[in-house]
Structure 1
Amino acid sequence: MEMKVVLGLALALGLPLAWHRPLLAFFSRFLLNQGMTRFNYAGEQVLTAGGLMLVASMLLTTVVQLGFMRWRGAFSPVLLHGVLLACGMAAMACWGWIDDRSNDGTTKGFRGHFRVLWQERRVTSGMWKLIGGGLTAVAVSLFLTSDIFAWLVACGLLAISPNILNLFDLRPGRAIKVYWLLVCMAIAVGVLAATSEEALFVWLFLLPLLVASVLLFPHDAGGRMMLGDTGANALGFSIGYLYVTTVPLLWQVTFLAGFVTLQVAAEFVSFSRVIERQAWLRRLDEWGR
């Protein structure tokens, strides 16, 4: 078991490093050819949907990990986590890609999308993202628990966590920093709750994404490539999956309540303005740029 874990860690840490440069070169050309450029907050034109790199790195690594674990005789629940996480992230990234490809950038927030649906009888790309993300959350959560209450909580976390990352993807590097913060919170809770062995294997599938986010951070923070809804959706889903599978139900409910609070607050308050008014938050936000 120990050797299996060591080799699994080597794959999780080493593979994203191995294909970071090839993926960066490929997706930089691909996004440019697809016209995936947007003006950022400073009025500069940069590539968007750079989160495709994260998803591609994660999927490639997961395929290798699953093959290795199957060869080493890993039990089915462990392999299922890898499949669910990879498929869920890919699906969420697709819904985000649809939104990134759309020119419907004037409609913002839940209220805006529902207003357009009600007043104009038109489904915005953001609404399609909400619908698709919700259906993806329902489908994935069905495999994670048979308890009704736990299932509802899992659905809520998997559905709302992608949008939480979207809320912070307004300045270079900010969403990735929030992602790292949420990962650290999961680690802290997992340590306090004595994480199970199965939960530790979930971390093996999450590590490649964490490494890929570190590698992408200089390009995001440097204003050369934005995560876009594609990347924010994928990272957010991974956070929701991490909380559902590695922390106790009471903590899941706590995080869900916190996420809902943030989502409601975002409808009325600009997080960017709040960050700019607090010196320590502003310094943290600007770090790495």
Structure 2
Amino acid sequence: MTSRRRRAGSVAPSVASSVASSVASLMGSALTSWALLRLGRRLPPAAAQPWQRTNHAGRSVTLLEGPAWVGGAVVGALAGAALAPATEARRTVGSTAVVALAAGGLGALDDLSGGAADKGLRGHLGALSRGQVTTGAVKIVGLAAAGLAGAAMVDARRPVPSGPLATLVGGALVAGAANAVNLFDLRPGRALKVTGLAALPLLGRLPGAVALGSSVGVVRDDLEARSMLGDTGANAAGALVGLAVVERTGLPGRAVVLAGLTALTLASERVSFTRVIDGNPLLRRLDQWGRGSR
């Protein structure tokens, strides 16, 4: 009876610490991404201009939302780690920060230096077959490496059955998720809604909590068509959601999610997601929620 009470007593503080860590991650990432986006608006014109784009409706928007999102994620991870049990903090903050910064940095390369000639997976691979190395192709390879590094860090601290194979599948999942969210960054708020819905069931994992928090911090500006994630934010958002899935699953779960992401990516080469969404009343209503006719 005494040992049972001791176990129950040790579990309660651990649960409380985990909850406090998730809340700190959520709030820290939300407040930081919100503040960074506003600081970005105060940059001198020469510094802000490379991030300016024209959206689908012809409105001028800034891609500085992406760096703000990444900064929020990193700060949120550190805030959550400060309240997590020591062992859990060491296990999670490193992989979260590495994946967010790597995916965000690769996205920024494409945002600032990418061209419009070759788009999509088929376009970048086609360019490679002609001997042309596009920034998109660099990003594909880089995301695969970042995903593999993140999955390896997760599996090193929590070994799973099937070892190296599970890690390889996990790395591909992180890269696939990074690309998948980017596919939805075509209308105000859409990619952030996808990120939020995917992150909600993963709030118990640090990457999931910061993915939701950073998205909340910038969603108003995105919905009002003043800013957008760009590749910088969308790739980081998807990668962290993917990393949270990797932390939660073993080989079977990872394989199922990767198969779904692969099917989604292949479908995007042939099907317009916007057309599908506009053709479904429920999806259209969800897509337009918060932004009216923008």
- What's the TM-score once normalised by structure 2's chain length? 0.84
Report the counterpart of residue 9 of structure 2 in structure 1.
none
Indicate whether 1:244 and 2:254 are aligned.
Answer: no
Do the aligned residues in 2 keep the contact of 1:31 with 1:48 (CA within 8 Å)? Answer: no
Report the counterpart of residue 215 of structure 1 in structure 2.
217
* Runs of 5+ unmatched residues, structure 2: 1-12
CA gap of 1:258–1:221, structure 2 versus 1, over 3 A, is same
Report the counterpart of residue 130 of structure 1 in structure 2.
140
Question: Following superposition of structure 1 onto structure 2, how do residues 201-280 of structure 1 map, counting pairs within 5 Å?
Answer: 203-204=205-206, 206-280=208-282
Given candidates 25, 42, 49, the residue that maps to 2:57 is 42
Given candidates 72, 86, 92, the residue that maps to 1:74 is 86
For the residues of structure 2 that align with 1:142 and 1:17, how far apart are their CA atoms? 28
Computed over aligned residues only, the root mean square deviation of the Cα atoms, in angstroms, reads: 2.2
Q: Sequence identity, in percent?
A: 33
* Runs of 5+ unmatched residues, structure 1: 188-199
Report the counterpart of residue 164 of structure 1 in structure 2.
180
CA gap of 1:19–1:245, structure 2 versus 1, over 3 A, is closer
For the residues of structure 1 that align with 2:266 and 2:19, how far apart are their CA atoms? 43
Q: How many residues align?
A: 270
Indicate whether 1:85 and 2:99 are aligned.
Answer: no
Q: Which amino acid aligns with 1:261?
A: A
Do the aligned residues in 2 keep the contact of 1:31 with 1:49 (CA within 8 Å)? Answer: no
**Local SS of the residue matching 1:38:** strand
Do the aligned residues in 1 keep the contact of 2:17 with 2:83 (CA within 8 Å)? Answer: no
For the residues of structure 2 that align with 1:31 and 1:236, how far apart are their CA atoms? 30
**Deviation of the 1:6 alpha carbon:** 5.0
**Deviation of the 1:221 alpha carbon:** 1.2
**Local SS of the residue matching 1:144:** helix
Report the counterpart of residue 51 of structure 1 in structure 2.
66
Do the aligned residues in 2 keep the contact of 1:37 with 1:46 (CA within 8 Å)? Answer: yes
Given candidates 134, 147, 152, the residue that maps to 2:168 is 152
- What's the TM-score once normalised by structure 1's chain length? 0.85
Report the counterpart of residue 177 of structure 1 in structure 2.
193
For the residues of structure 2 that align with 1:185 and 1:11, how far apart are their CA atoms? 17
**Deviation of the 1:243 alpha carbon:** 0.6
